[in-house]
A and B are shown apart, each in its own frame.
Chain A
Amino acid sequence: MTAWNKELSQHLLSRAGFGGDVKLRDHFVKLGISEAVNALFPPDNYSSASSPDLSSVREMEEQAVRILRQPGARQKLRETEEGKELLQKFQQANRQGIIAITGWWVDEMLRTPYPLLEKMTLFWHNHFTSSFMDVKRANFLWKQNDLLRKNALGSFRTLLLETAKDPAMLEYLDNSQNRKEHPNENYARELCELFTLGEGNYTDQDVKEAARAFTGWTHNPQGEFIFRPAWHDNGEKTFLGRRGNFNGEDIIEILLEEKETSRFLTRKFLRFFITEEPNSQMIEKFADIFRKGDLEVKPLLKSMFTSEEFYSDQNRGNLVKSPVDFVIGTLRLMRINFPRPEILWGFMGLMGQRLLDPPTVAGWKGGKNWLSSSTLTLRNDFIRALITGEIPNISPRGKVKNRAKQIKLPRPPFVPENVLPQEAFSNPTNAVIHTVDHFIGRELSPDRLQPLFKFAQDAFLQEKEEASALRRITYLVLSMPEYQLC
């Protein structure tokens, strides 16, 4: 590997977090590679100081649970005026709850001292997916997010077992309704296909047998896991060549023993952190490390972040930023405290990544799929909004409301003086050099900068204040193809 320097440290910060500004980058250079990698990981007992405010949802839920205990309650809820009103309030509270969770999460990503933890929580949200479109209970979705974040850097074994019993997952993939008479295959199939082995490494018969093993796994109205013996199929099952009276835990144990599971997960890690097309040699190397570490995430990531492959020329500046990377990374680099996180959630949604609402159970496709005419337009609109203060009026659900009614902030959120050094304001050439260094942080060839130098000269002439020129130069730098990549 080439010597540890500011470019490699910048690379580590962008991939393992949401990017780093000049200061953080220099700090990481001083630490040296192994201390820098260690500094990414939170202490074992770490948890965020705050959590989303779900008090109104909880209050509604307690009411609902009390009512549901009464005989004939379900009918009453559906058929009486009073019941209908209560249901409506319940749904309303849950919708607000979703906004509370996503707003909190976006805010946490902006402020956290441990961006890697948020990135890995997102990784697992994209693996063990659930959507509020199907799971309409905010409390369940928060429970799932909390489960993913607590184990994000921990054991895959724990994650697999605990998500199988998680109420949002039980709802999302219908296992809560899986009974022995006619098993529901939804969860069992995705467990094999998307959570462990990958397509092609099991048969449809295996899916049917696994579905039988998970019969009776459900939850109560409060969202606690319960096992209903009367719904469970106690018969013998044949799964991946093994025979026995398997239950859900047994199926999960068998899946964890399979080498394919470690390969499938490792490939996904590599695609997330290193390259869209990992070769089989890379997959074998890291899958081996993953298995030797008993499927613990932290040691695997440490070995990845210190590997030759991670820092090779071809694997730098080759991954398309996700909408979350793009939005959070930009705000962090601009040091903007955005007051309305739900607008950011809406923006990310329009860019193709609405948190708590993956497009399918397979999550977001990612990689080059993030970019299209439609999403690129939105990405540039977002930057433009920060530069000009003209914010499109986006609903939390991610629809652009009446264009004419855009929000005009009294002053632009992006203040160049807050992030760029004094020198940047001295002349057009310095303006370009510092803006590129701060926002892209990779060496660009001199001819790549020519159009920017030319533009910077115009902008310095056209604007009375250097800060206005710097804002426009920043817009151009952030419109460069290089800014979409990390």
Chain B
Amino acid sequence: MKQVRKYTRREFICAGVSLVSGVVITPAFLSRTLWALQTKANPLKTAQAFSQPEHILVVVQLGGGNDGLNTVIPFTADEYYKSRETLAIPQNNVLKLSDSLGLNPEMTAMRELYEDQMLAVIQGVGYPNPNRSHFRSMDIWHTAKPEDISVSTGWLGRFFDNACKGMPSPSAGVQFGVDIPLALKGETNKVVAISNLEEIGWKPTVSGEKAQSELDALDKLLKQRIIKDETLFVAHTEMDTLLTAELVEKAIKRGISNANYPATEFGEQLKGTAMLISGEFPAMVYYVHLGGFDTHANQAGRHNNLLREFSEGIKAFFTDLKVSGHGGRVICLVFSEFGRRLEENASGGTDHGTVNPVFLLGERVRPGLHGKPASLKREDLDEIGDPKFTVDFRQVYATVLEDWLIADSFGILGSRFSKLDLVES
């Protein structure tokens, strides 16, 4: 019974692509092109339609290494106050979550989500033999394979590969920004990168009938048999662009967004995500970015501003979803490549560290504090002076994959990781 349910569910949620025989909703020009290329010799599969996935994951990447210790503050730990003479947040200012932990005072919007039972904080998240390079550590979080430097697929890319086998769709995931992050890369690409919802597609030089001959010519140029791998890669990307353009255009006509987002790129990305979700765009995964967390010097003001932008953005996003009625379909996962050193440096900043809290947000998360905070006691720190992890980040991934995206985490992560109790059933 479970097998059957799983199978149909997966079919359904897979980029919202479902089989509807005889109905072709995408414009004939595009569908011909796309199916001809990607489904090759199976004419039965050409009759497909897009529908919206039941469960959506929004990943928020805090780039540069967020200072977790000044985000979720251990306000009863002496070691914290001793190590951070200038940067420690005074106990009285902390927005308390429990009798020992609280949020940075700039995160009032996040605190409201906590009170609304929408925020789960997973503490002490990291991985064995922490790497303090931004780029290697980010790759580790993206591939979920810390021990293997040659992996070229990401955990969500492999999810698309597994869950959407044989299903052509360039729109299983949406990346906001110019290039597709490793996390979303699979054996075949099922993701689009969008930096501006209104600027996507290919425009003819003229209008009317003349335009049609340009479109036809482009169609033929992309459809033709192409031998060289690199050329084929470009042709696929171009076709994904054309198909996405149609889907985006439809979605933004239907989409709703009225909430107040920060007037920043991060705010725009979240607003775009809310628009696409409420406009019934078929993606299962959205990827948004907030950078600037690499605070080696003069950290205090910058970090506070970032945390405010982050909290207010997320709050606006969930407000939008509540109004449009899609709140129950979305879970948001927030991570950074590493935390920062417990001890501050002489430039009023912090250097690269290890563990960090991970946030999970949404109506369907099990709210509250999860996992165990990493010990800050000197004897418990590693040889560089950083705390040691208590929760492996792949446990969080396994939970999200199994309990939210209804996928087999073993196939994707290559190992069995014990799940946490993070998603309401």
Residues of chain A having any CB pair with chain B under 8 Å:
173-174, 177-179, 181-186, 189, 193, 199-200, 204-205, 207-208, 317-320, 350-352, 360-362, 365, 368-378, 380-381, 384, 387-388, 400, 403, 447-448, 450-452, 454-455, 458-459, 462, 471-472, 475-476, 479-482, 484-485
Contact = CB atoms under 8 A, between A and B. Distances in A.
8 contacts: A182-B343, A183-B345, A184-B346, A185-B352, A186-B294, A189-B352, A351-B178, A481-B231
Contact of B205 (A184, A374, A387, A451): A387
Interface of B: 63, 131-136, 149, 170, 175, 177-180, 192-196, 198-203, 205-206, 210, 213-214, 216-218, 220-222, 224-226, 228, 230-235, 237-238, 240-241, 244-245, 291, 294, 296-297, 343-347, 349, 351-352, 383-384
Given A351-B178, A455-B214, 9 more contacts: A179-B346, A189-B133, A199-B135, A372-B192, A373-B170, A374-B177, A376-B241, A481-B238, A485-B231
B231 A482 contact: yes
Contacts of B241: 373, 376-377
A182 B217 contact: no
B297 A184 contact: yes
Given A189-B133, A204-B384, A459-B213, A388 B202 contact: no
A393 to B, nearest CB: 12
Counting chain A CB atoms within 10 Å of each CB, which of B136, B220, B225, B238 scores highest?
B238
B202 A350 contact: no
Given A365-B179, A373-B244, A481-B222, A452 B352 contact: no
B221 A484 contact: no
A52 to B, nearest CB: 27
B297 A320 contact: no
A131 to B, nearest CB: 11
B196 A374 contact: yes
B224 A320 contact: no
Contact of A374 (B133, B200, B210, B384): B200
B423 to A, nearest CB: 31
Contact of B224 (A388, A447, A458, A479): A447
B214 A381 contact: no
B387 to A, nearest CB: 14
Contacts of A351: 178
A484 B240 contact: no
Contact of B217 (A183, A365, A452): A452
Contact of A455 (B133, B217, B232): B217
Contact of A200 (B149, B193, B202, B234): B149
Contacts of B297: 174, 177, 184, 186
A181 B344 CA distance: 11
A360 B202 CA distance: 30
A183 to B, nearest CB: 7
B351 A373 contact: no
A381 B199 CA distance: 9
A184 B296 contact: yes
B240 A455 contact: no
B133 A199 contact: yes
Contacts of A373: 170, 192-194, 200, 237, 240-241, 244-245
Contacts of B205: 384, 387-388, 471-472, 475
B179 A369 contact: yes
Contacts of A368: 230, 233
B195 A374 contact: yes
For the complex of A and B, the 3 pairs showing the least CB-CB separation, nearest first, are A372-B193, A481-B234, A177-B347
Contacts of A475: 205, 214
Contact of B178 (A205, A374, A479): A374
B193 A360 contact: no
Contacts of A204: 132, 384
Interface of B is mostly: loop
A347 to B, nearest CB: 12
B221 A452 contact: yes
A362 B180 CA distance: 17
A352 B202 contact: no
Contacts of B213: 455, 458-459, 462
A320 B235 CA distance: 12
A424 to B, nearest CB: 18
Counting chain B CB atoms within 10 Å of each CB, which of A178, A199, A365, A370 scores highest?
A199
Given A376-B238, A384-B205, A182 B346 contact: yes
A417 to B, nearest CB: 18
Contact of A174 (B132, B203, B347, B383): B347
B351 A185 contact: yes
Contacts of B232: 481
B178 A208 contact: no
Contacts of A452: 217, 221
Contacts of B132: 189, 204, 207
B217 A384 contact: no
Contact of B134 (A350, A362, A377, A450): A362
A451 B204 CA distance: 16
Given A185-B296, A481-B235, A372 B180 contact: yes
Nearest to A353: B178
B341 to A, nearest CB: 9
Given A174-B349, A317-B228, A458-B213, A208 B384 contact: yes
A183 B199 CA distance: 46
Contacts of B344: 182
B346 A378 contact: no
A455 B343 CA distance: 67
Nearest to A448: B224
B365 to A, nearest CB: 30
Counting chain A CB atoms within 10 Å of each CB, which of B195, B201, B240 scores highest?
B195
Contacts of B224: 447-448, 451
B134 A380 contact: no
Contacts of A378: 199
A249 to B, nearest CB: 22
B179 A485 contact: no
A461 to B, nearest CB: 9
Contacts of B131: 199
Contacts of B194: 373-374
Contacts of B201: 377
Contact of A372 (B178, B203, B351): B178
Contact of A182 (B240, B345, B383): B345
Contacts of B218: 476, 479
A209 B259 CA distance: 49
Counting chain B CB atoms within 10 Å of each CB, which of A204, A361, A384, A455 scores highest?
A204
Contact of B234 (A179, A186, A320, A374): A320
Contacts of A479: 202, 218, 221, 238
A352 B193 CA distance: 12
A376 B383 CA distance: 47
Counting chain B CB atoms within 10 Å of each CB, which of A179, A471, A480 scores highest?
A480
Contacts of B291: 360
B343 A485 contact: no
B87 to A, nearest CB: 12
B172 to A, nearest CB: 13
Contact of A362 (B135, B231, B238, B383): B135
Contacts of B195: 350, 374
A303 B210 CA distance: 50
Contacts of A174: 296-297, 347, 349
Contacts of A200: 136, 149
B195 to A, nearest CB: 4
A421 B21 CA distance: 53
A184 B179 CA distance: 31
Counting chain B CB atoms within 10 Å of each CB, which of A204, A373, A448 scores highest?
A373
A255 B383 CA distance: 24
Contacts of B222: 481
Contacts of A376: 234, 237-238, 241
Contacts of A179: 346-347
B196 to A, nearest CB: 7
